[in-house]
Amino acid sequence: MNKDTEIDMKEVELNELDPEKQPMTGDGQAAGGEKNGSVKLKVPEDEVTFTGLSKEELMKVAGTPGWVRTRWVLLVLFWLGWVGMLAGAIVIIVQAPRCKPIPEMNWWNEGPLYQISDLKAFSDGLAGVEAKLEEVNQLKVKGLVLGPLHTVQADQIHTLELQAIDPDQGKEEALVALLEKAHKKGISVVLDLTPNYMGTAAWFSSGDIGDVMEKVKAAAEHWLNLGVDGIKISDVTVAANSTEWSKLQAVVHSEDTKKRVLMGVVENLPAASVSQIANTTGVDLVLSDLLHRKNGGVERIEAMDTLHSQQRNLGWGLGATQKDQLAKLAKTPSLIRLYQLLLFTMPGTPVFTYGDEIGLQAGQGEKYPKMVWDVEKEPVEGEAVDQAAEAERKERVAIRKWFKSLSDLRGKERSLLHGDYYPLYSSPSSLSFLRVWDQSERYITAVNWGNATETLKLSLAPTEGVELPTTAKVKLSAGTNSTADETVNLEDITLGPGQAILLQFPFTG
C-alpha cells in the first residue's frame, strides 16, 4: 500500500469517528451521502461588525453648522413648551373660583347637644351615664348637658349648694370618671347651674341676684377646674343684667387649650330680642323656645330669617328649653322624624333631650320618663310576643336609625354644618328652605306638619351665585313614597300630612 492510500484511509477513519456526522436515529445514510442527523455549518469568510463612530468622529460631526442649528431649535422649543405650561397653570389658578373661607367653628357648632336633665331616669346616675357613653357616642353628639346636679330646695335660697352633687345623681368621683371617658370619645360636658331650678324663679328674687351670681361664679370655677367644658344657665336675661355677670364670663372664657361654652336659655322672647341677647350678653350659645312657641310655618321662617346670620351662637330645640322630650309636642312617629329633620338642617345647633332619638314619651304625670335601652334586642324565638310592644320597639329602632343618619349627614356636609340659609316657601303648616356652602352639595328641606296635603311652590329671591335647578335628588325622605336618589321636579313638591323630605343638588360652577 502506497503513501496516498494510507492518507485516504486515515481520512475515512476520522470521518467515521466525527460525532457531528453520527446518525441521530437509525443506521441509514441521508441523501447526498451524508449520514442522517449530520449538520453542515457555513461560516462566512468575511464578517462585518458595526462599531459606531469614534469620539473624534462624533466631535467632528457635532461641530458642523447643521447640528448646531438643530440643537438650538430643540432647546428653544423645550423652554417655550415649559413656559407655556407654566403660563397655562397660572391662568387656571387665577380663573378658578376661590374657595370661601371656613368660618370659625367651636365644638358646640359641630354636632348636636344632648340634654340629660335627670341622670337617675336616664341610667341610674352619673355612673350609669358613663356606662352608656358608647350608645350616646353612636348618635354623633358633640356635647352632653347634665343636670342641674346641685342641691337646693325649691325657693329656699339658704339651701343652695352649687358645689355639692345631689346624692341621688351620684358622687364627684363619678363625675370625674365620666368627664375622662367622655373626653376620650370627643364628647364635651356642660353642667346646668341654674340655681333655683325646682322653684318658681330661676334666680330666686330680684334682690338675691347679686349673692346668687357670686355663688354661681364660684361654682363655675370649681367645676371648670375639674374638667367640665361649659356652664348652662336658664333665664339668661336676668343673669346678664347683674353686676356680677362679667365675672362669670371671665371665669368661663379664661385662657385654656379648649374653648368652653357659656350657654343661656331664654323663653317667650321674639326673634329680634334673641338676636340682641346673642350680640350683647357675651353668651356663646342661646337656646330659645321659638320653634316650640311659633307653630306656623310663616312665623318659623321669619325667625330663621332674623337669626340665621348668628347661627354659630344659636341653639334650636322642640321642648329643649323646658327639658321636655320632643315627642311631647310631636306626638306621632312621622312628626318625630319631621322635627328631627328640621332641627338637623336649620341654621344653628340642634339641642335634644335624652330619648328624642327613639321618640321617648313621658307617661301621665311623669316629668322625666325612664330611658328605654336595648331597643335593638329582638324577642327570643318561640316565646310569646306582645305584638303592640314589638311594634313600638321596631318603631323606636327606625326612629333611632333616622336620627343617626341625620346626625352623620350634618357632621359631614358643610352646607348643613355652617352653610348659608335662604327661604323658599312657607305656609301656616309647612315650610322649605335652602342650605348652601360655596362649592359643596346644596340641600333643600321641605316639611309639612299639617293635617292636609300641601303643594310647596319653591321660589328663591334673586341671589348672586345661587340658583335653584329644575330638579334635585332625594337624600332622605320621611313618610313619602320617594326613594333615595330619586329625581324630583322642584316646580311641584307635594307633601302629605306629617311628611318631610331632604333634597340634594350639586354645585355646578
DSSP string computed for 285-299: EEE--HHHH--SHHH
Q: Do 158 and 249 share a domain, yes or no?
A: yes
Residues 128 and 86 in one domain: no
Tell me the residue type at 114: Y
Average pLDDT over residues 453-478: 94
* Residue 344: predicted pLDDT: 98
CA distance 2 to 242: 147
Same domain, 75 and 155: no
269, 359: one domain: yes
CA dist 323 and 198 (Å) reads 13
Q: Are residues 404 and 428 in the same domain?
A: no
Enter the pTM of the model: 0.82
Rounded mean pLDDT of the chain?
89
How large is the average pLDDT for residues 421-434?
Answer: 97
Which three-class secondary structure state does DSSP give residue 366? coil
CATH of the domain at 364: 3.20.20.80
pLDDT in tens, 8-40: 544 444 444 444 444 544 444 444 444 444 555
Give the mean pLDDT of 441-454.
97
Comparing 115-124, 151-160, 201-210, 263-272, the range with the smallest average pLDDT is 201-210
CA distances from 399 to 66, 333, 405, 501 (A): 82, 8, 10, 15
The amino acid that residue 223 corresponds to is: W
Task: Classify residue 468: in a domain, yes or no.
Answer: yes
| pLDDT band per the 50, 70, 90 thresholds, residue 336 | very high
Domain encompassing residue 74: 55-95
Q: What is the rounded CA–CA span in Å between residue 205 and residue 366?
A: 28
- Of 113, 117, 109, the closest CA to residue 322 belongs to 117
- Report yes or no on 3 lying in a domain: no
User: In this predicted model, what pLDDT tens digit does every residue of 260-290 receive, in sequence order?
Assistant: 999 999 999 999 999 999 999 999 999 999 9
The arithmetic mean of pLDDT across residues 196-212, rounded, is 92
432 falls within a domain: yes
d(CA 272, CA 278): 10
Residue holding cell 485516504?
Answer: 8
464, 493: one domain: yes
Q: Are residues 125 and 72 in the same domain?
A: no
Angle between helices 209-226 and 245-252 (to 10 degrees): 0
442 SS3 class? strand
Domain count for the chain: 3
